[in-house]
Structure 1
Amino acid sequence: MSEGGLAAPSRHPLDWRNQEFYDETKLDAELRRIFDICHGCRRCFNLCDSFPRLFDLVDAAPNGELDTVESKDFKPIVDACTLCDMCYMTKCPYVPPHEFNLDFPHLMLRYRAVEAKKGEVEFADRELAKTDRNGALAAYVAPLGNWATDCAHKTARGLLEKAVGLHRRAFLPPYQLKSFVAREKASSPALNREAPAFGRKAVIYATCYANYNEPVIGLAASAVLAKNGVETEIVYPHCCGMPMLEQGAIEEVANAAKTVAAAMKPWIDKGYDVIALVPSCALMLKTEWPLILPEDEDVKHLSKATSDISEYIVAIARKEGLAPGLSALERGGVALHVSCHSRAQNMGQKARELIKLIPGVDLQVIERCSGHGGAWGCKTENFETALKVGAPVARQAAQSGKAVITSECPLAGHHIAQGMALIGDGERPRVAAPELVAHPIQLIAKAYGLEA
């Protein structure tokens, strides 16, 4: 057998509708097969905490090998996986088409799917993953809810920690009284019919985060697209299902995929591109959904039509050229975190290319996992681990001395900011704390003078 493959990674569809997928004996055999390969390789030691936990578990076994490890001890390894896909996309030499056929993230997903089928997912986790319901309800009490979830309110956060298992120190994104969809309908930006990209048409898939938590991301994207002559429509039929995927609820993700793909089909048929505002959501539409529903034609078409917002703007810059008017930023230095789910899209550092379009920008790129992993990093049992995994990113951001910190993943950006605040390296505190910008598209909007 060969040591490693040189071919581009490929991926097999998830066989989640086959009952053998949930057979615990077969799952355990596959866990042991793959864990034994990982134990002998160890290239992923510095990624998420799953791999140190696996290697420590095997090293502590009576004979130092996997055959003397009990299967019940595998769960902490699975629990530490954030489905970031970095082991699959950047480290592992044994992914398909290699004969070892190793897909660690989807193995962790299979384990969680078995747990979900057995009803072992915590009630609070299931409810927190219902992002559309939570966002719609939270809008009615946003000011009070945001006050209670602020880390400064220790009593309220202590109660929340006990009730739903969200760590009292973890940043929780605020909710808005008015969603991105509602704001955009109330005030659509004027379309520049003289711009180089006039004639392009795109649907902005709002995503639950941009819709309910930080509409400024969507407003910035909409304004930049209009400035460049792109006719846009805002469509948001349902969450992409990433929070449900993290819990192994694959059937619920499949239902979400069908709903969104059906809603997007008429737009795609009319020649519209589809733009996702958050990398995790773009990854779901592009990659995960076609692996879950490989026979669904609407899902296939949506996958081909979808771009990440950074990817789309860079494509305009390369093909038609951007509309004139970009100016240097007042606070010129930018530290950019390239998110894991951006890297997993295998499209290159599009956010770096995007920010480089700003005249005279002083940019430092940080390409390493922030440690957050969506809702995973907010949980009581994971928060300290998330800080540990993300510490190298926080240190690089702090040492960069840049005036602005941004990430393609908004939650990762907030997590990095928390990590920076906790660094105690003996250095002098900054004269001024860096500005946290939720998404690089907002920097383009600022450079155009289009701030929401």
Structure 2
Amino acid sequence: MTEGSLGAPTRHPIPWQEESYYDEEALDLELRRVFDICHGCRRCFNLCDSFPQLFDLIDESPNEEVEDLSAGDIKNVVDSCTLCDMCFMVKCPYVPPHEFDLDFPHLMLRHRAVENRNGKTGFVDKQLAEIDRNAAVAGTLSGAANWASKGSNGVTRGILESVAGIDKRAHLPPFQEVPLTHKHVGHGPVANAAAPAFGRKAAIYATCYGNFNDQTAGKAALDVLSHNGVQTRVEYPACCGMPKLENGDLPAVASSAEQVAAFFEPIIDEGFDIVALTPSCALMMKFEWPLILPDNAVVKKLALATRDLSEYIVEIAKEKGLVPIDEMKAEIGIHFACHSRAQNMGPKAMEMLKLIPGAKPSITERCSGHGGKWGIFKENFDKAVKVGRPAARAVSKGDPDYMVSECPLAGPHLRQIMESGGQKDLPARIGHPIELLAKAYGF
């Protein structure tokens, strides 16, 4: 048996609408088959907590066999998976079309889908995944919500930890009173006919985080694109469903995909590219949704029209060129986010920042450890810090002038790791790399 395959890696559609997908006996057999292969390979030992936990459980079992694992052991491995996709994308030699046919993240997703169907998804997990509802409430009461969730508020954060299990040390993003879509209605600034990208049109998918929490990257994207002649508009029909994917709630994710795709279809027909502010959302739209709804032509249409923000800037630069950028002599540490890597498009943040004269970007390809909502829970927070510590060390090596990450959750988490480790001269912010391009333009 050889490692790897002569064919390019591929992924199967997720058969969540078939009854056999939820067969618990068949799922258990498949889990043990895959775990046995992983135990013999161990290439993913340093990716996340799932793999070292799996290897230790088998090594410490009576016969050192996967058959020794209990259902509880298997659940612990599944619960430690953050669906970052790195094992599938960068490590595993046995992904399809190899005959072993391994897709570890989608197997973890299947286990969660079975749990979700059986009513075993945790109450707090389910409530946190109701992003649009939560944002509507928290935005209306942003002053009180942000006061209560602030890390320095020991009383309310202690209560939140006791009631909801959200670690009082974990960074929680503040909410904006006014969504980004309400601040930038319509087509934005009139495009400059002399700019190189005049004639292109981009609909910015604000994403839940960019719309309701941190709007800095969205504002920077609008400034940079408009400055280069791109006609822009900001839209937010609904959440992409990534938090519900983490819960295994595939019917809800499919519903989100149908809703968002239907909203964007006429906009695509008007000639707009769809540009996602957040890598996780771009990953959902470009790759996960077409696997969940493989026969939906509108979802496929959206997938083909969608670009990650950094990817879009680089695409314009290669095809049309950019308006000349002022020199910025700066060392820049880039955290290459997992869901940027999982889009299989290359390090676009690195390419984008190299467009700035005088900039010297360096890249770190390590997980921040946050893992969506996984890292904020008390049972996971210390693991999230442990997993992210190598990335924090690497991205801050040499005391760069700026540090950036395309993942809006990774940036604050990495900064928090640096702060807890006693690191001095911390950056005020680890934001999206588009912010530095906007800064170089003088915005």
Report the TM-score, using the length of structure 2 for normalisation: 0.98
1:145 CA displacement: 1.3
Q: Bigger shift: 87-96 or 373-382?
A: 373-382
Q: Bigger shift: 244-253 or 127-136?
A: 127-136
1:6 CA displacement: 3.9
Where does residue 74 of structure 2 map in the other structure? Answer: 74
Where does residue 417 of structure 1 map in the other structure? Answer: 415
Q: Are residue 449 (structure 1) and residue 439 (structure 2) matched?
A: no
Where does residue 328 of structure 1 map in the other structure? Answer: 327
1:362 CA displacement: 2.4
Between the aligned partners of 1:196 and 1:3, the Cα distance in structure 2 is 47
Q: Are residue 83 (structure 1) and residue 83 (structure 2) matched?
A: yes
Render the CA deviation track for 1:107-164: whole Å, top value 9, x for unaligned: 0000000110011111111111111111111111112211211111111101011122
For 1:371, which of 365, 369, 372 is the aligned residue? 369
Between the aligned partners of 1:397 and 1:306, the Cα distance in structure 2 is 28
Between the aligned partners of 1:107 and 1:230, the Cα distance in structure 2 is 41
1:203 CA displacement: 1.1
Q: Bigger shift: 356-365 or 244-253?
A: 356-365
Between the aligned partners of 1:186 and 1:269, the Cα distance in structure 2 is 17
Where does residue 224 of structure 2 map in the other structure? Answer: 224
Where does residue 436 of structure 1 map in the other structure? Answer: 429
Render the CA deviation track for 1:289-344: whole Å, top value 9, x for unaligned: 000000000000101111001000001111100012x22347x2211101000000
**When the two structures are aligned, how many residues end up with a matched partner?**
443
Alignment of 1:25-104 (within 5 A): 25-104=25-104
Q: Contact 2:188–2:232 at 8 Å: present in 1 too?
A: no
1:235 CA displacement: 1.6
Between the aligned partners of 2:144 and 2:336, the Cα distance in structure 1 is 33
Taking every aligned residue pair, what percent have the same amino acid on both sides? 55
Where does residue 389 of structure 2 map in the other structure? Answer: 391
1:71 CA displacement: 2.8
Q: Contact 1:397–1:420 at 8 Å: present in 2 too?
A: no
1:30 CA displacement: 0.5
Alignment of 1:3-402 (within 5 A): 3-185=3-185, 188-324=188-324, 326-329=325-328, 332-402=330-400
Render the CA deviation track for 1:62-84: whole Å, top value 9, x for unaligned: 11111222233111100100000
Between the aligned partners of 2:80 and 2:397, the Cα distance in structure 1 is 28
| Change in 2 beyond 3 A, CA 1:78/1:386 | same
Q: Contact 2:94–2:101 at 8 Å: present in 1 too?
A: yes
1:187 CA displacement: 9.8
Q: Contact 2:418–2:426 at 8 Å: present in 1 too?
A: no
Between the aligned partners of 1:441 and 1:87, the Cα distance in structure 2 is 28
Paired AA for residue 192 in structure 2: N
Q: Contact 2:220–2:435 at 8 Å: present in 1 too?
A: yes
Q: Contact 2:333–2:396 at 8 Å: present in 1 too?
A: no
| Change in 2 beyond 3 A, CA 1:437/1:144 | same
Q: Contact 1:85–1:340 at 8 Å: present in 2 too?
A: yes
1:190 CA displacement: 4.2
Q: Contact 1:364–1:400 at 8 Å: present in 2 too?
A: no
1:39 CA displacement: 0.6
Q: How large is the RMSD of aligned CA atoms in angstroms?
A: 1.3
What runs of 5+ residues in structure 1 fail to find an aligned partner? none
Q: Contact 2:186–2:233 at 8 Å: present in 1 too?
A: no
Between the aligned partners of 1:438 and 1:185, the Cα distance in structure 2 is 24
Please give the secondary structure, in 2, of the residue aligned with 1:382. helix
Q: Contact 1:368–1:393 at 8 Å: present in 2 too?
A: yes
Between the aligned partners of 1:131 and 1:278, the Cα distance in structure 2 is 15
Where does residue 406 of structure 1 map in the other structure? Answer: 404
Q: Contact 2:406–2:431 at 8 Å: present in 1 too?
A: yes
Between the aligned partners of 2:63 and 2:296, the Cα distance in structure 1 is 48
Render the CA deviation track for 1:2-50: whole Å, top value 9, x for unaligned: 2322432100000000111111101001001100110111110000100
Moved over 6 A (4+): none
Between the aligned partners of 2:331 and 2:189, the Cα distance in structure 1 is 28
